[in-house]
Amino acid sequence: MTANLALYERKLAGLDRKGRNRSLVAISGADFTSNDYLGLADSQRLKDALCDAIDRGVPVGAGGSRLLRGNHPEHEALEQEAAAYFEAARALYFGSGYAANVALFSTLPQRDDIVVYDALIHASAHEGISTSRAPSVATAHNDVDAAADAIARWRRAGGKGRPWIAVESLYSMDGDCAPLGELMELVKRHDGFLVIDEAHATGVFGKGGRGLSEVLGHPENCISLHTCGKALGASGALVLGPAIICDFLINRARNFIYSTAPSPLMAATVREALKVLADEPERRGNLAGLVSFASREMQAATGMPPSKSQILPILIGDNRRAVRIAERLRSEGFDVRAIRPPTVPEGTARLRISITLNVDEAIISRLFERLVVILREEQQQ
């Protein structure tokens, strides 16, 4: 092996020593890992919508960026329908939630502003914030007072711009929710902006699956991000907010300007997913029932309090033990994955149990029956 490659081998060996080396694992067993909360990814309605779009002549590829020839009518139809459905002034479609978060935070906050973000926010938001011209500060999870203090310190130090508060509505690894009402009041007091990542709430919470921010309405100082690759069963992401914000992103967000537009076929598929949210509210009801059942099973099996959402974290602590437990569960037909640092803080490796419509109560019961036995055996080692 050359010295150039040996460098990377040493780095991977270092990850292995910490129990943090990762590898790809094939799909198998009952789904307790995906974010396909409403079971739409393999649904007949989305398949039929895709086939119909092909029959209508919708192309596979966009052929260019949206500002060149890649702006297909399917993109524009999706944005109009999404803005109407989520009751926002405007929507802008990105290829992924990661790309949308990077665009938001690298483009919108200005040099004199400050970004105050929850320490547990998505990695994609961290990436965008790191490239922003505005200074930034992380605050303790779901601590409104800490956010207020950060803004006050910035003002005392001469901060003259606007504060941007960045949160997830439903946190992807803990399954808990942000105090959106209190955060909106804080933003109003300081004439700032609230950016809400609805990735794991879209389709599941709020009237018609419009997310947890639905209760706020869409004031001009609120921007929300709805990913399409989780409960909506497709891919991409929708940024919703004032028209002027979307126009600014079109003109200044580099990863929007210089990226080939998302597949028009995927835009057509997301359009159908939004129709499913409106037409089939029973999916949300069925999921809520499964989540309640799984929460009771989890608490009985582990003694840990459930999160009150479809994301049920089971803290293990040790990286290698979390991996070992997940591997044992997969060997018995339950697709559970271990989540380790840096995705979660050091010492908080966990199993992330995701409840979707791809399982039923019987499978959930069997999962927790086996988990009890495995946890007991692990404690005896």
Q: What is the pLDDT of residues 8-55, one digit of tens each?
A: 998 999 998 888 888 888 888 999 999 999 999 999 999 999 999 999
180 contact partners, CB below 8 Å, separation of at least 6:
167, 169, 194, 196, 212, 213, 215, 216
315: left (phi over 0), alpha (psi -120 to 50) or beta: beta
Q: Do strands 349-354 and 338-339 pair parallel, antiparallel, or not at all (unpaired)?
A: antiparallel
- Reported as a single tens digit per residue, the pLDDT across 177-230 is 999 999 999 999 999 999 999 999 999 999 999 999 999 998 999 999 999 999
- Reported as a single tens digit per residue, the pLDDT across 143-182 is 999 999 999 999 999 999 999 999 999 999 999 999 999 9
Are 216 and 205 contacting, i.e. CB atoms less than 8 angstroms apart? Answer: no
Gyration radius of the chain over CA positions: 22
Distance of CA 200 to the CA centre of its chain: 5
In a 3-state reduction of DSSP, which class is residue 177?
strand
Q: pLDDT class for 1, splitting at 50, 70, 90?
A: low
CATH class of this structure's domain 25-42+281-380: alpha beta
User: Six-digit token pair at 348?
Assistant: 């908080």
Q: pLDDT class for 231, splitting at 50, 70, 90?
A: very high
Are 323 and 356 contacting, i.e. CB atoms less than 8 angstroms apart? Answer: no
Tell me the pTM: 0.94
- Reported as a single tens digit per residue, the pLDDT across 102-153 is 999 999 999 999 999 999 999 999 999 999 999 999 999 999 999 999 999 9
How many angstroms separate the CA atoms of 357 and 291, rounded? 10
CATH T-level topology, domain 58-279: Aspartate Aminotransferase; domain 2 (3.40.640)
Q: Do strands 30-31 and 334-335 pair parallel, antiparallel, or not at all (unpaired)?
A: parallel
| pLDDT at res. 118 | 98
| pLDDT at res. 22 | 86
Burial class (CB in 10 A: 0-12, 13-18, 19+), 3: exposed
pLDDT at 270 over 80: yes
232 contact partners, CB below 8 Å, separation of at least 6:
38, 40, 202, 203, 226, 270, 273, 274, 277
H helix count then E strand count, the chain: 13, 12
| pLDDT at res. 28 | 87
Q: Where are the beta strands (DSSP E) in the chain?
A: 30-31, 90-94, 114-118, 136-139, 163-168, 193-197, 222-227, 237-241, 311-317, 334-335, 338-339, 349-354
Mean pLDDT (the chain, rounded): 96
| pLDDT at res. 23 | 84
How many angstroms separate the CA atoms of 373 and 189, rounded? 52
How many angstroms separate the CA atoms of 315 and 348, rounded? 6
User: Six-digit token pair at 89?
Assistant: 């002034």
| pLDDT at res. 378 | 86
How many angstroms separate the CA atoms of 191 and 185, rounded? 10
How many angstroms separate the CA atoms of 297 and 64, rounded? 50
Q: Do strands 237-241 and 193-197 pair parallel, antiparallel, or not at all (unpaired)?
A: unpaired
Q: Which ranges in the chain are annotated with CATH 3.90.1150.10? A: 25-42+281-380
Catalytically active residues are 35, 122, 168, 172, 197, 200, 230
Are 213 and 196 contacting, i.e. CB atoms less than 8 angstroms apart? Answer: yes
- Reported as a single tens digit per residue, the pLDDT across 326-365 is 999 999 999 999 999 999 999 999 999 999 999 999 999 9
Amino acid at 260: T
pLDDT at 2 over 90: no
Q: Which of 328, 218, 237, 234 is nearest to 272 (CA)?
A: 234
Q: Which ranges in the chain are annotated with CATH 3.40.640.10? A: 58-279
Q: Do strands 237-241 and 222-227 pair parallel, antiparallel, or not at all (unpaired)?
A: antiparallel
